[in-house]
Amino acid sequence: MPQTFNVGARSLFVTITAWVAIVLSALVSASAVVQNAFVASVAPLAAGGANLPALPLLTNLLLGYLPWVVGTGLLMSLLMLASAIGLLLRLEWARRTFIGVLMIAIVANLLGLWLQHEVVQSVVTSALAGSPLPPQAADVFGGFVTAARVMAALVTLVTCIVFGWVIRRLMSAPVRQEFA
């Protein structure tokens, strides 16, 4: 009796990964379009100094580069959407692009931890310095901010670990065989 080998059989992992990526990247793309529209409408106000309060240096620098950051987010989400559709179709270039986008996302998330810390620190420090809160209330507020930062850091690290696991699975021999 002859043996039948299923070369290139479709795995459930690749299908689920592709569909999850399609849905999430479509949502992120729609959100990025709205963010681009918002930044485009607010940028002239921020550039003109329309009675804005004095912001820390880092915050002003971030606001200056905000259109580029939001545009890059839109580009990455569209690239993820295209590669996820290609992943569903089992195209080799899409698997490699998907892995590359996930690697960029890991690096961006890890760099975002530092950026998040700097932004939250500058905003909270400037907000608490100018507020008439008693010291006990400011300490409670600072505790909530610290808890939120720790939780955001944990979510970011877990996300990076999951991305790494997906990259490892997509680089495994059985999954590569599907794209042959």
* pLDDT per 10-residue tile (average), the chain, 180 residues: 62 93 95 87 62 62 78 93 94 94 94 80 73 74 82 93 95 86
Instruction: Quote the tokens at residue 87.
Output: 């992943």
At 127 the pLDDT is 72
Q: Where are the domains of the chain?
A: 12-178
Alpha carbons 145 and 119: distance in angstroms, whole number: 12
Alpha carbons 136 and 133: distance in angstroms, whole number: 8
CA distances from 43 to 32, 35, 67, 112, 152 (A): 16, 12, 8, 22, 27
At 52 the pLDDT is 54
**pLDDT tens digits, residue range 44-56?**
655 555 555 666 6
Reported pTM: 0.78
Distance between alpha carbon 45 and the CA centroid of its chain, in Å? 27
Alpha carbons 144 and 150: distance in angstroms, whole number: 10
Burial class of residue 18 (count of CB atoms within 10 Å of its CB; 0-12, 13-18, 19+): buried
